[in-house]
Chain A
């Protein structure tokens, strides 16, 4: 059974940093396209970042230069390193597995950026 579990969210001050983790089971992270998608309170879904199976990474313009997606193959885990956080980064962050369609999603972890 495919499972994705996010962790690492919390309250952080503007300008701060946070690392989100997505622990997986039932599949090999390095063999899949893995993404982070976020949802601000009361808002829609927004693609944040993707790491392809070959290791190439891409980011939305809104997080380019501040966020870094990575994976630990030995732990079958996906990460999102977030720096220079802004209030507008406040959202539930989901990790998702999929090729050209995000198929499997975690339950999400809430990141709140506020002083």
Chain B
């Protein structure tokens, strides 16, 4: 199972909005509404930011939003802040025998 495709890097100025894409196939992203997004700081564990395409866990800022169209999911960060500078990974359910596939990861830089 190949990793989902994400841009290597995305940057933006404080206050701007940025969008990270996550492209898969009809067997993963396009086939299920179980796309999630994780934020990871260097040396730290991933933190769930979005689940089931567009749902935010309790405590996650509403500046983070998710969307899916066809085989591509996206994460938008609005009102970009310095603390948003981190790596972001998408993930999708595939099937019982291979429950998760992750994206290639995107480094977000706040200019």
Contact = CB atoms under 8 A, between A and B. Distances in A.
Interface of A: 33, 35, 37, 44-47, 50, 58, 60, 94, 100-108
A103 B48 contact: yes
Contact of B36 (A33, A35, A46, A101): A101
Interface of B: 3, 32, 34, 36, 38, 44-48, 51-52, 57, 89, 91, 93, 96-105
Given A45-B89, A45-B105, A100 B46 contact: no
B39 to A, nearest CB: 11
Given A37-B102, A102-B36, 12 more contacts: A35-B99, A37-B100, A44-B105, A45-B91, A45-B102, A45-B105, A94-B45, A94-B46, A101-B51, A102-B100, A103-B57, A108-B45
Given A58-B96, A58-B97, A107-B45, A101 B102 contact: no
Contact of A102 (B32, B48, B97, B98): B48
- Is chain A's interface secondary structure helix, strand, loop, or mixed overall? strand
Given A37-B100, A45-B102, A58-B97, A101 B91 contact: yes
Given A101-B36, A103-B51, A58 B99 contact: yes
B3 A105 contact: no
Contact of B102 (A44, A58, A103, A107): A44
Nearest to B96: A58
14 contacts: A44-B102, A44-B104, A45-B38, A45-B91, A45-B102, A47-B102, A101-B36, A101-B93, A102-B48, A102-B91, A103-B51, A103-B57, A107-B45, A108-B45
